[in-house]
């Protein structure tokens, strides 16, 4: 009966409609009482043989039935509105928080599990808050009033009603703890299965290639069976509680009826009083029966409450306490000063004392062997994590001094893994700038070397892409993502292997076009193929988390260090390809 704090919190999102739904539910219950009163009088009149007043009484009963139908309709509509309000607010809140948590959190959480919480969990909370809670309040308020009314007519009836009511309400509470545990187990299985299915669907090509489809199917079947077992285990406990309630309701009604008959037989109450006690005894239990029904509707919300609370209160990897808006009028200078960083839980630092600057309005390339820490460096600039030592400044200010949202908006990123949505090409591009004109879209697409291929699509810019851009080639996806980043028109552009899936000749052209188009912006480029970055104003060579050398292409080749070796390896590879 104790309402989970997360669910109470959710209910606050729709105080007014919930209050209205509760009052209407109360009115519906009162109409049942009025009907009981009128029927008792009618029955008493029949017993007395005074049928004169019957038509009026029966007409009044019909009127009450009609009013209740109207009230019930209004109640359901108000409750649905309250539920929708709770759902929308809760999802908005969760999505905004997920945005604040950023990629650092999402790399550890399973997408399918988060989806299950945000979609199914919130749906359950809607049912709990909009249907169960109003009924709970009515159930706690109405039976005591009824008992008082019964006590005024025939106090002895309370001997049957009070224990039965207490048993009906408090009996199932004996299972609360067990039910909560079973509920959590059920929810964990439910979330896990959601995550497994999503992963299996998204990874189907990899599973097929590895010949693992059959094995995955069997694993999913086992997980489904596990969910089934968890559901049955939860149901068993829940049904035990419902069984107790039913038993108490039926026993209480029967006991009330017997006591009413007994007092009538002994002449202690009038005929009207006896009928009234009989009918009111039944009404005492109606809210309890209704509550048991709504409990099942809203139970998923109770199971999901812990998961929702965990998601809503998850701590972001970095604090968002900076207030400075990142509204740089001109391209800013980026500086890394003695930056040291170790991933949470990792033993060894990934970056050790990294120091370099990316001059304002210039292109700086970061190169180095795989695992050198290049992407990590870019992640720190975007504050997916904060370094344990050293500073990263933009325009002379610590990145932490900026408002996190505006810092991330000021830096357009294209990474190795692009994300395109199941929407038209134009809609995908306009994600970066909703108000961009068609000409602007076209200009960005031309610069990214994708315009001609877009116009060759069946509907040009209006062509709807498959999920994650599945209907495009890897290189086309990357170039579309590049066009989107250009459209964002942010003063800092970060390209992390942004052209890795584009063929080498094309890559050189795109990089040339891009640097020309991005003139006036500060560009950071990470690329494996050195040919793509040889024209960069400055090249930072990273090795094992340290800066090995800084310079331009010529100076670095002349110095004969790691860069020269990487360039030589790249040249031999190209010659091999050409041969
Ligand atoms: P590549 O050229 O292969 O993309 P990179 O130079 O960009 O490599 P990073 O992705 O920055 O390298 O990774 C540097 C090191 O940090 C690697 O050893 C990697 O295993 C580790 N690392 C990366 N991401 C995480 C993470 N989220 N948690 C723990 N360690 C990580």
Q: Is residue 147 one of the residues assigned to a domain?
A: yes
C-alpha to C-alpha distances, 278 to 73, 147, 161, 290, 298, nearest whole angstrom: 28, 12, 11, 19, 32
What is the pLDDT at residue 122?
A: 92
Q: Whose Cα sits closest to atom 17 in ligand 1?
A: 371
- Identify whether residues 296 and 347 lie together within a single domain: no
Please give the number of the atom of ligand 1 that sits closest to the Cα of 379.
11
Kindly give the distance from the C-alpha atom of residue 566 to the centroid of ligand 1, in angstroms, as a whole number: 19
In this structure, are residues 88 and 268 in contact, taking their beta carbons and an 8 Å threshold? no
Q: Is residue 460 one of the residues assigned to a domain?
A: no
10-residue mean pLDDT profile of the chain (579 residues): values are: 82 92 94 91 85 88 96 95 94 88 67 85 92 92 88 82 88 81 86 88 87 89 91 86 87 84 77 82 87 84 86 84 85 94 90 93 90 92 93 93 90 84 90 90 89 90 81 81 88 84 72 73 86 85 90 86 80 59
CATH of the domain at 104: 1.20.1560.10
- Identify whether residues 260 and 381 lie together within a single domain: no
Helix (H) or strand (E) holding 525: strand 522-526
CA distance 136 to 140: 6
Q: Whose Cα sits closest to atom 20 in ligand 1?
A: 371
Residue at which a domain ends, from 255, 281, 312: 312
In this structure, are residues 437 and 445 in contact, taking their beta carbons and an 8 Å threshold? no
Q: Is residue 91 one of the residues assigned to a domain?
A: yes
- Identify whether residues 233 and 130 lie together within a single domain: yes
Burial of 417 (0-12, 13-18, 19+ CB in 10 A): exposed
- Identify whether residues 109 and 248 lie together within a single domain: yes
- Identify whether residues 134 and 181 lie together within a single domain: yes
CA distance 494 to 40: 80
Residue found by looking up tokens 């929810």 in the block: 187
In this structure, are residues 267 and 288 in contact, taking their beta carbons and an 8 Å threshold? no
CA nearest to 124, candidates 295, 298, 1:
298
- Identify whether residues 266 and 386 lie together within a single domain: no
CATH of the domain at 374: 3.40.50.300
What is the pLDDT at residue 111?
A: 79
Q: Whose Cα sits closest to atom 4 in ligand 1?
A: 370
Mutation pick for ligand 1 pocket among 375, 496, 542 (CB with most ligand atoms within 8 Å): 375
- Identify whether residues 360 and 294 lie together within a single domain: no
Q: Is residue 170 one of the residues assigned to a domain?
A: yes
Kindly give the distance from the C-alpha atom of residue 418 to the centroid of ligand 1, in angstroms, as a whole number: 18
- Identify whether residues 101 and 194 lie together within a single domain: yes
- Identify whether residues 289 and 345 lie together within a single domain: no
What is the pLDDT at residue 107?
A: 59
In this structure, are residues 31 and 69 in contact, taking their beta carbons and an 8 Å threshold? no
For the chain, how many structural domains are there in total?
Answer: 2
3-state secondary structure of 330: coil
Pure H helices in 108-212: 111-116, 122-127, 133-153, 158-170, 176-202, 204-209
Q: Is residue 51 one of the residues assigned to a domain?
A: yes
Q: Is residue 427 one of the residues assigned to a domain?
A: no
Please give the number of the atom of ligand 1 that sits closest to the Cα of 107.
27
C-alpha to C-alpha distances, 133 to 15, 82, 187, nearest whole angstrom: 12, 11, 21
Residues 6+ apart with CB under 8 A from 166: none
CA nearest to 111, candidates 222, 191, 170:
191
Q: Is residue 472 one of the residues assigned to a domain?
A: no
What is the pLDDT at residue 355?
A: 94
What is the pLDDT at residue 573?
A: 62
Q: How large is the angle between the packed helices 213-265 and 158-170, nearest 10 degrees?
A: 170
In this structure, are residues 556 and 564 in contact, taking their beta carbons and an 8 Å threshold? yes
Q: Whose Cα sits closest to atom 18 in ligand 1?
A: 371
Residue found by looking up tokens 């988060």 in the block: 114
What is the pLDDT at residue 432?
A: 86
Q: Whose Cα sits closest to atom 19 in ligand 1?
A: 371
Length in residues, the chain: 579
- Identify whether residues 143 and 286 lie together within a single domain: yes
CA distance 428 to 462: 10
Q: Whose Cα sits closest to atom 24 in ligand 1?
A: 376
The boundaries of the domain holding residue 244 are 5-312
Q: Is residue 80 one of the residues assigned to a domain?
A: yes
Burial of 309 (0-12, 13-18, 19+ CB in 10 A): middle
Residue at which a domain ends, from 280, 312, 344: 312
Question: What's the token pair of residue 518?
Answer: 């991005």
Burial of 437 (0-12, 13-18, 19+ CB in 10 A): exposed
Q: Whose Cα sits closest to atom 26 in ligand 1?
A: 343
- Identify whether residues 92 and 213 lie together within a single domain: yes
Please give the number of the atom of ligand 1 that sits closest to the Cα of 542.
6
- Identify whether residues 521 and 402 lie together within a single domain: yes
3-state secondary structure of 293: helix
Sign of CA dihedral 515, 516, 518, 523: positive
Residue 523: strand pairing partners: 363, 493
Residues in contact with ligand 1 by the CB-under-6-Å rule are 107, 343, 346, 350, 368, 370-376
Kindly give the distance from the C-alpha atom of residue 207 to the centroid of ligand 1, in angstroms, as a whole number: 25
């Amino acid at each position: 009966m104790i309402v989970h704090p997360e669910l109470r919190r959710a209910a606050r999102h729709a105080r007014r409609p919930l209050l209205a739904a509760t009052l209407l539910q109360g009115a519906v219950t009162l109409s049942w009482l009025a009907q009981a009163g009128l029927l008792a009088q009618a029955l008493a009149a029949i017993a007395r043989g005074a049928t004169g007043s019957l038509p009026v009484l029966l007409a009044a009963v019909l009127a009450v039935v009609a009013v209740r139908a109207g009230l019930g309709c209004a109640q359901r509509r108000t409750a649905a509105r309250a539920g929708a309000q709770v759902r929308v607010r809760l999802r908005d809140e969760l999505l905004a928080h997920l945005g604040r948590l950023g990629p650092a959190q999402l790399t550890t959480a399973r997408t399918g599990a988060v989806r299950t919480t945000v979609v199914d969990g919130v749906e359950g909370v809607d049912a709990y808050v909009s249907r169960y809670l109003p009924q709970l309040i009515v159930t706690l308020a109405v039976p005591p009033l009824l008992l008082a009314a019964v006590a005024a007519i025939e106090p002895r009836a309370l001997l049957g009603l009070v224990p039965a009511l207490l048993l009906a309400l408090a009996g199932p509470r004996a299972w609360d703890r067990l039910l909560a545990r079973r509920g959590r187990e059920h929810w964990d299985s439910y979330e896990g299965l959601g995550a497994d299915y999503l992963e299996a669907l998204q990874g189907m090509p990899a599973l097929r290639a590895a010949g693992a489809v059959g094995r995955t199917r069997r694993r999913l079947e086992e997980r489904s069976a596990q969910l089934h077992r968890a559901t049955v285990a939860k149901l068993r406990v829940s049904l035990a509680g419902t069984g107790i309630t039913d038993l108490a309701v039926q026993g209480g009604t029967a006991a009330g009826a017997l006591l009413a008959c007994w007092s009538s037989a002994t002449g202690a109450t009038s005929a009207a009083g006896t009928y009234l006690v009989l009918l009111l005894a039944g009404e005492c239990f109606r809210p309890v029966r209704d509550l048991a029904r709504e409990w099942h509707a809203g139970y998923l919300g109770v199971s999901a409450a812990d998961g929702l609370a965990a998601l809503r209160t998850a701590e972001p990897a970095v604090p968002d306490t900076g207030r400075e808006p990142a509204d740089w009028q001109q391209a800013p200078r980026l500086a890394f000063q003695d930056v040291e960083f170790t991933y949470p839980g990792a033993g060894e630092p990934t970056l050790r004392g990294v120091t370099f600057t990316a001059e304002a309005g210039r292109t700086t390339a970061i190169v180095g062997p795989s695992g050198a820490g290049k992407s990590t460096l870019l992640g720190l600039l975007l504050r997916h994590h904060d370094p344990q030592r050293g500073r990263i400044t933009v325009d002379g200010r610590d990145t932490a001094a900026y408002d996190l949202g505006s810092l991330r908006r000021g830096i357009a990123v294209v990474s190795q893994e692009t994300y395109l949505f199941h929407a038209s090409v134009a809609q995908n591009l306009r994600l970066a700038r909703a108000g961009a004109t068609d000409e602007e879209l076209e200009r960005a697409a031309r610069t990214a070397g994708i315009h001609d291929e877009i116009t060759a699509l069946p509907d040009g810019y209006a062509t709807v892409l498959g999920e994650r851009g599945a209907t495009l080639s890897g290189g086309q996806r990357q170039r579309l993502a590049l066009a989107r980043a250009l459209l964002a028109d942010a003063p800092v552009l970060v390209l992390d292997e942004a052209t890795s899936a584009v063929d080498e000749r094309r890559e050189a052209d795109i990089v040339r076009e891009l640097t020309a188009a991005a003139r006036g912006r500060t560009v950071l480029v990470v690329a494996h193929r050195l040919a793509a970055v040889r024209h960069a104003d400055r090249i930072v060579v990273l090795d094992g988390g340290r800066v090995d050398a800084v310079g331009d292409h010529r100076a670095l080749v002349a110095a004969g260090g790691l860069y020269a070796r990487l360039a030589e390896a790249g040249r031999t590879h190209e010659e091999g390809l050409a041969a």
